[in-house]
Structure 1
């Protein structure tokens, strides 16, 4: 935990330093005159670096939050320590949960035998399928591209876990009812509140592959640990997409699908928002929700907002500068989601509101399992990852979207 916090602090300081030493002077130049070609290229390079800092910080913040949730979850499951052991037992159990959440923990071998069509193998003989990790002169390190995960989750979506996958029904207040004016000695008026329901299913997502025993034995990196972690991440990426834009009915209902449009942009601007559009979107959400509200947007939408200027040509966007905290926009944090639509005509590229009203249902946790028997005939080790989940916006007044105007 300490090392993650230190990494967050270091990246935030580097981001702030980059803005103050390079970004701010360029922004001041832009307020006085147009950029030269070299200045524009330098600013665009700085913008890409700034976005990279945000993505890396958000990834670390999500990791820190997962670890904190694991610790709390372990404490809840273990209850009082007198029944289940001492503080060391609680910490050990929390570590095990963290391993599951990261996709690092594997259960006992399975006897599941897949069909021939299901088998995909990583092996030494094919370079891209694992051979590139084996060699006579080889660094025992692996270069991995960074990945973006769910901005909806990072913005505070509520997660609840059930032991079984039967349908969960949540009663929901649909209308408040109303009072009315009354006259002396007459029946008091008033209408009753109404109710409806939100239902949560358990849609199944998985990842499966085999690794040759030669690759397991010869690779200079922990190929088993890498594959199981990537399988867990792959499921996180897939479910993150569903929680953002899932169509419902046969998959989770994404927050963009469930939310209503709070502001439609102007015509003739390619779907880009103005500063006034952002204010209107924010004010389309009732004040009680704004206390815990956040922005979630695609990368191109964030870039479009960051380029907005005042009448003097100064950029309206300012970096937060707080260690480990996301950037702020009109007083609320901003989270990027790679699955939101890019800026475009008719596209819903930005959402604003209280994302704790978006509920994610998990059946248990992600299962990462290994079998030495499933692919015995081809001398491979089989791995599979499985998660059952659903999601829906339980309060459609809590989150609104910005939609680009017509062409």
Structure 2
């Protein structure tokens, strides 16, 4: 660990000094860096990068991504890939005028030195976000992010972040999520997406990375959780299985990134159920192709609602979620949600079946939920990337 820190500090220091030399001789101007998670290119960052490369190819915009990323070709095909944590990534982080990302901290390497000395990075910081902010999350407040632009995807979200997260005037802007530009063109498949979010109080990828416990201990703790029990029972619910069989639907079960390591623990031999992992399935494509969504508190519900498609919220642990995961924010599922709220497995399955039109053999959305969607997303066009670009450009 000590040797790695010494190497990191040495690389950091050399890149910092070289950046001064390059600036002095005018060798680098107006570099933008965009990132998501190191090995991913599927979220707001990717769609913003793609927009810039296609519309403004002369803008020096680079996408920082891991060399072993499954979708690396998506970036290399667009050009100007920047390998995550490479020396060039370190150097360009000091030279960049804009550091942009869907996850915070934005743009910079995953490095001890950059986290220790963030003030040495002078570029304007842009937070594209990953999902709609609906709860009070301390790590997204201004004192935690210090970003110069916080991009919101909906009007109520903008109002909430602007009022309670401590950002200076004009930092928070409602420009729409870049990935929403890509939600207007899709082909439906006969599939239902089951995609719950994670829980901070459950073993997760973050726990594993921090070495809190070894993997076998994490597995045992997860297997003993109410979360595992509820979704295991749901996957075996006979009424649900009969519905899938009778109507020839697939149920795609996709765990949150933080819990993906536990996918194999959920056992099923049913041909109508697919256990999906993030290396083989793209979240946005699943959202676009699926007719119906089962989720809990996940922000993927907002993407699904944006497409005006039916869903149900399965909230069997509401009290514990708001006590131990995130504090409740402005979003009330009963009065603002885009689908029915079920706290029992039987109510969940009933809500799903009741949303199916047996004459047309497809799911349909209730008019009340459609109206809520239109009230929530007042910007509904294909100009989200353009608005974001303009906001970034004029920082």
What interval of TM-score do these two structures reach, taking the shorter chain for normalisation?
A: under 0.3
Determine which structure has the larger strand proportion and give its number: 1
More helix by share: 2
Q: How does the TM-score come out when normalised to structure 2? A: 0.23
